């Protein structure tokens, strides 16, 4: 059969990746690939390896505020104890789990999703997806950080913009052509 006449199909809804990242209004932190078998210990390791350094860099006076979406690994005793130990370096925002009204993370995921979907070709593998995901993360998100942060604060009394810092941990799913 002529390969030019063949069309790829997606079986089993394609694939997915889980990513973790951090940003504040003035700086985009690193984006890390996370194994989909994410647990409390791996989450605390991620925080230890990436969040603490980022918060110290962005918020040198210990006035940063960290937000997470309160999924199970975020609310664990181990995570809470780890964050409590660092309370002199930054504070953790207390807010309801999975509250769509308070999260700028969803706005960033929307920017990233549109960036990936803007490509002419659908990624066929996770290896192809990662660079297509990172490029819009680095370019589109960087230009919109302040707006992404301020969207969350509009219905609330506004803290100083220099205090905003957010955690991103999400399972991103795309359908791949195979």
Note the pLDDT of residue 37. 73
Q: Residues 142, 7: contact at Cβ < 8 Å? A: no
Find all residues with CB under 8 Å of 174, minimum gap 6, and list them.
14, 15, 16, 116, 122, 123, 129
Number of domains in the chain: 1
117 lies in some domain: yes
Cβ atoms of 105 and 69 within 8 Å: the answer is yes
Instruction: Note the pLDDT of residue 173.
Output: 37
Examine residue 123 and state whether it is found in any structural domain, yes or no: yes
pLDDT (tens, 9 = 90+) of the chain, 178 residues, equals: 677 777 665 555 556 677 777 777 667 777 777 777 778 998 899 888 888 888 888 888 888 888 877 778 888 999 999 999 988 888 888 777 666 655 666 666 676 777 667 766 666 777 777 776 666 555 555 556 556 555 544 444 444 444 444 444 433 333 333 3
Compute the distance between CA of residue 162 and CA of residue 11 in angstroms, rounded to an integer. 46
Whether residue 1 is contained in a domain is answered as no
Q: What is the CATH number of the domain that holds 144?
A: 3.30.420.10
Q: What is the pLDDT of residue 14?
A: 56
C-beta of residue 20 within 8 angstroms of C-beta of residue 171:
no
Q: Is residue 104 part of a domain?
A: yes
């Amino acid at each position: 059969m002529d390969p030019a006449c063949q069309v790829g199909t997606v079986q089993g809804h394609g694939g997915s990746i889980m990513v973790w990242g951090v940003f504040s209004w003035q700086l985009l932190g690193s984006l890390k690939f996370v194994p989909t078998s994410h647990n409390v210990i791996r989450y605390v390791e991620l925080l230890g390896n990436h969040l603490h350094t980022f918060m110290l860099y962005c918020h040198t006076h210990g006035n940063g505020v960290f937000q997470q979406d309160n999924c199970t690994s975020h609310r664990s005793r181990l995570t809470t104890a780890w964050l409590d130990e660092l309370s002199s370096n930054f504070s953790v925002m207390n807010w309801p789990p999975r509250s769509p009204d308070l999260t700028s993370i969803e706005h960033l995921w929307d920017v990233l999703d549109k960036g990936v979907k803007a490509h002419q070709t659908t990624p066929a593998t996770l290896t192809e997806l990662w660079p297509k995901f990172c490029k819009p993360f680095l370019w589109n998100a960087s230009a919109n950080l302040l707006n992404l942060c301020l969207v969350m604060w509009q219905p609330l009394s506004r803290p100083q913009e220099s205090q905003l810092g957010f955690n991103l941990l999400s399972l991103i799913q795309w359908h791949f052509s195979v």
